[in-house]
């Protein structure tokens, strides 16, 4: 899918941001419940942004809007200048430009690690051999070369999350959205997963937006966005 730049506002350095979020809200119950309430935010290409805040503040709801998993009640989101409202096939757009990493891994239990990583490219123009080769290479880079044909139930939590990270990268996305990716892991596995995400982001020049409650993770970010009652404020570099 080729994106046609529209009217997104440039960053201070003159470059079009990868994400330009303008007055975006997500309301439920006929407007009485405001999960996201008038968020304005610009994120630069290659930036690592952490989103924190108390439970119910709108962190995951904002991430779902950025990932086009939910449609805003009002406002607009631009990806490299293209408004989400102008994208005809949002599923195709997501599969080509956005990678997702969830706290609960979201792996299909009846598929092997290799097959789970291949899911985003099934039905694409890639040959089966290319799909398998790319998935195997990503898993090997995650330290899972000997676990390609294992099913999720036989993997540790840290291994499952590494499979999920590999899956998020198979399409070489410009943007990865991670929702509490270390939240269900012990401290050792959490640190390993964090290093893999940050290292892959730097190596591949990917924009990373991560919801987290962990201050040690926020301290690694270029910028922290604090959510409260559906609204946002930037806390500057490194929290």
pLDDT tens-digit readout, 117-168: 999 888 777 888 999 999 999 999 999 999 999 999 999 999 999 999 999 9
SS3 call for 114 = helix
pLDDT of res. 14: 55
pLDDT of res. 239: 47
Report yes or no on 167 lying in a domain.
yes
26: enclosing H helix or E strand: strand 19-28
pLDDT of res. 200: 87
Instruction: Name the burial class of residue 81, with classes exposed (0-12), middle (13-18) and buried (19+) by CB atoms within 10 angstroms of its CB.
Output: middle
- Which residues of the chain carry a pLDDT beneath 70? 1-15, 235-239
Report yes or no on 134 lying in a domain.
yes
Report yes or no on 39 lying in a domain.
no
- The Cα 86–Cα 142 span in angstroms is 36
Range of the domain at 156: 48-57+89-234
Q: How far is CA 48 from the centre of its chain?
A: 11
Report yes or no on 188 lying in a domain.
yes
Report yes or no on 93 lying in a domain.
yes
Q: What is the pLDDT of residues 156-171, one digit of tens each?
A: 999 999 999 999 999 9
Q: What's the domain count of the chain?
A: 1
Read off φ and ψ for residue 217, nearest 5 degrees: -75, -45
Sign of CA dihedral 189, 195, 198, 204: negative
**CATH code (residue 172):** 3.40.50.300
pLDDT of res. 214: 87
pLDDT of res. 124: 76
């Amino acid at each position: 899918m080729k994106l046609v730049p529209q009217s997104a506002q440039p960053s201070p350095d003159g470059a079009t941001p990868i994400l330009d979020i303008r007055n975006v809200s997500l309301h439920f119950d006929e407007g009485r419940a405001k999960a996201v309430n008038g968020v304005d935010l610009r994120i630069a290409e290659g930036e690592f942004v952490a989103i924190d805040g108390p439970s119910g503040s709108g962190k995951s709801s904002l991430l779902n809007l950025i990932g086009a998993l939910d449609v805003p009640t009002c406002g607009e989101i631009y990806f490299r200048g293209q408004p989400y409202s102008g994208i005809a096939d949002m599923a195709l757009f997501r599969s080509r430009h956005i990678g997702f990493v969830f706290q609960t891994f979201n792996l299909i239990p009846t598929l092997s690690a290799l097959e789970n990583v291949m899911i985003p490219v099934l039905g694409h123009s890639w040959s089966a051999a290319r799909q398998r080769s790319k998935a195997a290479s990503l898993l090997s880079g995650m330290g899972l070369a000997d676990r390609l044909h294992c099913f999720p139930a036989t993997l540790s939590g840290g291994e499952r999350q590494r499979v999920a990270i590999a899956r998020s990268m198979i399409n070489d996305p410009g943007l990865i959205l991670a929702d509490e990716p270390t939240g269900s892991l012990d401290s050792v596995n959490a640190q390993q997963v964090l290093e893999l995400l940050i290292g892959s982001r730097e190596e591949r020049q990917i924009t990373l937006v991560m919801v987290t409650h962990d201050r040690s993770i926020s301290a690694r970010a270029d910028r922290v966005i604090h959510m409260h009652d559906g609204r946002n404020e930037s806390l500057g570099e490194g929290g």
